Amino acid sequence: MTSAADKTLGIYIHVPFCMRKCPYCDFYSCENSLHKRDAYVQAVCRNLELYGDGRDVDTIYFGGGTPSLLSPEHIEKILGTVSKAFTQRAPEITMEVNPATVTRETLAAYWRAGVNRLSIGVQDLLEDALKALGRLHTAQQALDTVYAAREAGFENISCDLMIGTKGQTPERLDETLKGLAALPITHVSAYLLKIEEGTPYAGQNMQAEIPTEDAAADLYLQMVSFLETCGFMQYEVSNFARMGFESRHNIRYWKCRPYLGIGPAAHSCLDTRFYVPADLDTFIKEVHQPTCLEDASPCTPEEKIMLGLRLAEGIPLCWLDTRQRKRVERFCKGGLMRTEGERIRFTPEGFLVSNAILAEIL
Ligand code: SF4
């Protein structure tokens, strides 16, 4: 069961449109057409009304796909429906933005529509790296998007960064990190590139061209230390924030707090964990979005330990039994975990091998 004490709800809206598929990406998205976007927004609103139970919504997250392919009017319509179907108390409203899809004017209009946090898909600030990632934007466009967002009124801006990409060296990463640190942003999400099966990158045998696992681990540790020096504290494996700007929505996932996912390929965790099949046409056609059960009783003690240890604050030691605590001691001695008072947490080096450690502890 999700955290019983938490009566609030987070809403995730999966926007399944992209201008073009990036060769490394396996998220669900389809080709973008105005007709489909209108029908999709209608279906999102219909589902919000059907799920609406007046519950307090304190985070809303537009993810994708490319949510910035929806117009400000689309976003306004969806947010208007949320406010009618639920209660809202100063929610954090995040929208993922692709720099290739926005202008000064649209950013200002998203702000007026109620969005108050942006997650901008910068990925890198070197042109050749962006090309190799198949991104449609240039480094200058990424910088312009951040400044235009700031001018539009956004104070809470996150940038996405990719680590372990083709040709990335410590020097090249340093250049991108210095560029990011000079921007008026509050948050960085940094992901290690993983070659996903079925993507064009997998077909091109990109694994052989990207940094080795050890080199990527060094790049990750370089990034953690650089960002911390600049005041972005690591609060999760892949997330860094200035004080008070941690993503409230994403913290829900790691603390087993309830969230409702709307849209094809969206996941939810309420009394059960379920997902919507990745099929836009069915989502548009059906009155109520179809769902598939993933877990009838989510947020077991083991799951809470696994999710809680993703956070830099770690978990209370009392969540572990005697046998598990003995195992943890070994990783503390090896510098991969650390106890702080009555809590246990991973070190940055431990985060890199957290899956293997968790498999041994649990
Ligand atoms: S824009 Fe984002 S969601 Fe769309 S294909 Fe590229 S990485 Fe994937």
pLDDT in tens, 238-294: 999 999 999 999 999 999 999 999 999 999 999 999 999 999 999 999 999 999 999
CB atoms within 10 A of CB 43: 22
Mean pLDDT, rounded, for 325-348: 95
Residue 64 beta carbon below 6 angstroms from any ligand 1 atom: yes
- pLDDT for the residue 6: 75
The domain ranges of the chain are 9-254, 301-361
Tell me how far the alpha carbon of residue 306 lies from the centroid of ligand 1, in angstroms. Answer: 27
The alpha carbon of 36 and the centre of ligand 1 are apart by a number of angstroms equal to 18
- Residue 3: its pLDDT value, please? 59
Q: Is the peptide bond before 65 cis (omega within 30 degrees of 0)?
A: yes
How does pLDDT run across 143-168, given as a tens digit for each residue?
999 999 999 999 999 999 999 999 99
Instruction: Provide mean pLDDT across the span 298-309.
Output: 95
Q: What percent of the chain has pLDDT over 90?
A: 93
* Residue 17 alpha carbon to ligand 1 centre in Å: 9
- Dihedral, 88, 90, 95, 99 alpha carbons, nearest 10: 150
User: Is the pLDDT confidence value at 5 over 90?
Assistant: no
Cα Rg, the chain, nearest whole Å? 20
* Minimum-distance ligand 1 atom for the alpha carbon of 98: 1
Fold that domain 9-254 belongs to in CATH: TIM Barrel (3.20.20)
- For the chain, the straight-line distance linking the first and the last C-alpha, in angstroms and rounded, comes to 19
Ligand 1 site, residue 63, Cβ cutoff 6 A:
no
Separation of alpha carbons 14 and 227, rounded Å: 29
162-191: average pLDDT: 97
Q: What is the pLDDT of residue 32?
A: 84
Is the minimum distance from the CB of 145 to ligand 1 under 6 angstroms?
no
Could you tell me if the CB of 22 is within 6 A of ligand 1? yes
- Which one-letter amino acid corresponds to residue 44? V
Residues 34-40, mean pLDDT to the nearest whole number: 94
Looking at residue 293, its pLDDT comes to 98
pLDDT tier for residue 205 given thresholds of 50, 70 and 90: confident
**Which string of DSSP letters, residue by residue, matches 106-140?**
HHHHHHHHT--EEEEEEE-SSHHHHHHTT-SS-HH
pLDDT bucket at 7, cuts 50 / 70 / 90: confident
Residue 2: per-residue pLDDT? 61
Answer yes or no: is the C-beta of 16 below 6 A from any ligand 1 atom: no
Q: Is 15 in the pocket of ligand 1 (CB under 6 A)?
A: no
Owner of token pair 């548009």: 284
Residue to probe by mutation, ligand 1, list 15, 19, 21, most atoms within 8 Å of CB: 21
Q: Are 219 and 258 in contact (CB under 8 A)?
A: no
pLDDT band at 33 (very low <50, low <70, confident <90, very high): confident
Q: SS3 for 183?
A: coil
112: phi then psi, degrees, rounded to nearest 5: -65, -30
Q: Taking 60 as the threshold, does the pLDDT of residue 1 lie above it? A: no
Q: At what angle do helices 34-51 and 72-85 cross, to 10 degrees?
A: 10
Q: Quick check: 14 and 67 in contact, CB under 8 A?
A: no
Name the one residue in this structure whose structure tokens are 């109520």.
288
Sequence-ordered strand ranges (E) for 144-298: 156-163, 187-192, 233-236, 239-241, 259-262, 267-269, 273-275, 292-295
